[in-house]
């Protein structure tokens, strides 16, 4: 979802920050200190402006009415959030600053310890609010101020002149952070980081470490490389897949990976390791194929300008960032790569298990190569498909629908508020499916939306993660949907297919499942099936799908 219209509201004067957001159409706040009144007034100019994102930069000392008493702060916080939550609209996302209690009175040592208590009061309530509302997020104001330092972040002169608390440097940083946070909601994160080894993951050459020791330690350049690995581990834990494409003797490289005392990453952190003397574009192509990912999902990191240019020219879809000349800048540059290409607005449980899931899929591919037939392979997988409550997995369902391109019948895109609205519609049923097999848990991999507004229900969305493709799982899911529709008293079901540049793999799905093609209209292909005359489908689950039989 591309966000183009935003509003910045506050209980202090932040107009200078709003004026710095020149990449967007920005709502001109009518004064300050009236952020809640503006939100509560449905006739205000704010609602005529129709922002898709509202950023609330709250000065905590003003919100607490400049009281240093923790109990008083709790009461003010409860009142503020109660009013705010009454204004939340499903058509917008909200970013509320986590805050920083600053004032001249907080500089006295006597009350210094209270600052953290006051901040905790606000943060805990904000965390509850974000947990209760899928379209509410914490804006990291504290992090911005901490990065600059308190003395550099605030300005007493502008505060007393016009209730502007932040220095010019802080205003610029906050504006940059707003842009970064908005951008996270507007792009599809990359899925894999493919890295070189020599002079990228460590300093020096793996095959020559007997003459020149590998640079990897807790000081100097060795620490820079180790910190780079630590950042990579965070990227992996956030849901990206780490792979290696490196020109080395595999034994030499693996000796370092498995045994060097300062390796922050080990062999199990990398899903695929292409350590050979093949051209790196060839290795990246194989990695993409084995992961079943598009090349546009991959970021390639390499210290060699020649290798980077080769990959750029050969595989233009792969993102190839520049590599810093000074290794001391490498960890920081990798942080920027993470923030720009991998960071997500919400980290789901599936994200945190992504590396394990891709590793399991590689083992599935190996198992398939050893079985005599496709049915034998499917039976041997011992697939289990279970229904899950969509309301409790709303972030994952939005992520799944928005990121899935190949197996996506209509390629509908959702916002969290939009999905909440769909789930509250009694004439629309959303089904979510979790899959596991003998090799591991794939997590929630499929979402199906059925619209019951008409006499004949219609499947208006069916998206399934690419990691679940190729095992006829979709056949069992469609059977389950049809049984659920039949149980509601319907004898027919319709389905849609809207072709895109990337969803060709499911072009013939409905006819393959026995649906009759109807007339297409406005680029949408329609299909229909008699639920009492449907054909048997070949799939093998270890047990029936629960909950809808």
**Got the DSSP string for 14-58?**
-HHHHHT-TTSEEE--SSSS-HHHHHH-TTSHHHHH--SEEEEE-
Q: How much is the pLDDT for 464?
A: 95
Contact 12, 62 (CB under 8 A): yes
Residues 99 and 145: their CA atoms lie apart, in Å, by 9
C-alpha closest to that of 218 among 278, 264, 277, 187: 264
Which two three-digit tokens encode residue 245?
């494409």
Residue 29 has pLDDT above 80, yes or no: yes
pTM score of the predicted model: 0.68
Length of the chain: 549
pLDDT, one tens digit per residue, over 89-131 is 878 999 999 988 888 776 665 556 678 888 999 999 999 998 8
C-beta separation of 506 from 497 below 8 A? yes
CA distance 454 to 462: 18
Q: Give the pLDDT confidence score for residue 33 in this predicted structure.
A: 85
pLDDT for the residue numbered 547: 42
| Tokens standing for residue 286 | 């194989």
Cβ-contact 334, 324 below 8 angstroms? no
- Give the residue-averaged pLDDT of 520-528: 88
* pLDDT at 108 (0 to 100): 64
Instruction: Identify the pLDDT of residue 209.
Output: 66
Tokens of 88: 């939340």
The mean pLDDT of 310-319, rounded to a whole number, is 96
Of the listed ranges 297-306, 391-400, 504-513, the one predicted with least confidence: 391-400
Cα(49)–Cα(18) distance, rounded to whole angstroms?
Answer: 15
| 113, two tokens | 């310890």
Q: In this predicted structure, what is the pLDDT of residue 112?
A: 62
DSSP 534: P
β-pair partners for 462: 448
Q: How confident is the model at residue 348 (pLDDT cuts 50, 70, 90)?
A: confident
Spatial distance between the Cα atoms of 523 and 376, rounded to a whole number of angstroms: 39
**Is the pLDDT assigned to residue 316 strictly greater than 60?**
yes
Q: Which parts of 366-507 are beta strand (E)?
A: 384-388, 428-437, 440-451, 458-464, 492-497
- pLDDT tens for each residue of 180-189: 999 888 778 8
pLDDT at 548 over 60: no
Q: What is the pLDDT of residues 33-55, one digit of tens each?
A: 889 999 999 988 999 999 999 99
The closest alpha carbon to 528, from 476, 456, 467, 475, belongs to 456
């Amino acid at each position: 979802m591309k966000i183009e219209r935003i509003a910045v509201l506050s209980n202090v004067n932040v107009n200078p920050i709003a004026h710095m957001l020149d990449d967007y159409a920005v709502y001109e706040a009518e004064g300050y200190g009236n952020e809640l009144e503006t939100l509560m007034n449905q006739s205000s100019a704010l609602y005529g402006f129709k922002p898709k994102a509202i950023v609330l930069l709250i000065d905590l000392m003003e919100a607490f009415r400049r009281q240093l008493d923790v109990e008083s702060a709790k009461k003010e916080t409860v009142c503020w959030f109660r009013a705010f939550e009454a204004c939340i609209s499903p058509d917008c996302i909200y970013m509320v600053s986590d805050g920083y209690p600053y004032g001249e009175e907080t500089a006295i040592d006597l009350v210094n310890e209270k600052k953290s208590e006051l901040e905790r009061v606000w943060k805990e309530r904000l965390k509850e609010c974000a947990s209760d509302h899928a379209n509410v997020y914490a804006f990291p104001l504290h992090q911005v101020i901490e990065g600059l330092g308190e003395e550099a972040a605030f300005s007493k002169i502008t505060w007393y002149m016009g209730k502007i608390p932040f220095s010019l440097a802080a205003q610029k940083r906050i504006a940059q952070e707003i842009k970064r946070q908005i951008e996270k909601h507007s792009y599809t994160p990359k899925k894999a980081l493919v890295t070189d080894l020599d002079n990228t993951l460590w300093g020096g050459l793996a095959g020559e470490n007997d003459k020149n020791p590998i640079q990897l330690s807790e000081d100097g350049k060795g620490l820079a490389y180790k910190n780079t690995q630590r950042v990579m581990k965070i990227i992996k834990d956030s849901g990206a897949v780490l792979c290696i494409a490196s020109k080395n003797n595999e034994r030499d490289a693996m000796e370092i990976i498995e045994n060097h005392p300062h390796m922050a990453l080990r062999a199990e952190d990398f899903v695929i390791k292409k350590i050979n003397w093949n051209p790196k574009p060839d290795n990246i192509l194989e990695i993409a194929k084995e992961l079943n990912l598009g090349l546009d999902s991959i970021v390639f990191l390499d210290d060699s300008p020649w290798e980077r240019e080769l990959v750029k020219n050969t595989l233009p879809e792969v993102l190839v960032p520049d590599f810093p000349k000074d290794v001391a800048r490498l960890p920081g540059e990798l942080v920027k790569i993470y923030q720009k290409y991998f960071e997500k607005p919400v980290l789901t449980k599936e994200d945190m298990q992504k590396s394990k899931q891709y590793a399991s899929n590689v083992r599935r591919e190996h198992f398939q190569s050893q079985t005599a037939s496709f049915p034998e392979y499917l039976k041997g997988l011992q697939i289990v498909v279970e229904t899950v409550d969509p309301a409790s997995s709303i972030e994952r369902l939005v992520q799944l629908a928005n990121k899935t391109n190949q197996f996506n019948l209509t390629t509908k895109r959702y916002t969290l508020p939009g999905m909440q609205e769909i789930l509250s519609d009694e004439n629309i049923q959303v089904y979510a499916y979790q899959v596991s097999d003998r090799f591991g848990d794939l997590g929630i991999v499929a979402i199906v939306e059925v619209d019951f507004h008409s006499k004949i229900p219609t499947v208006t969305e069916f998206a399934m993660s690419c990691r679940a493709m190729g095992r006829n799982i979709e056949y069992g899911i469609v059977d389950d949907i049809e049984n659920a529709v039949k149980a509601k008293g319907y004898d027919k079901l319709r389905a849609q297919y809207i072709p895109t540049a990337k969803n060709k793999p499911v072009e013939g799905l409905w006819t393959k499942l026995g649906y009759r093609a109807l007339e297409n209209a406005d680029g949408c292909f329609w299909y229909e099936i008699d639920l009492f005359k449907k054909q048997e489908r070949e799939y093998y689950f270890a047990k029936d799908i629960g909950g809808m039989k």
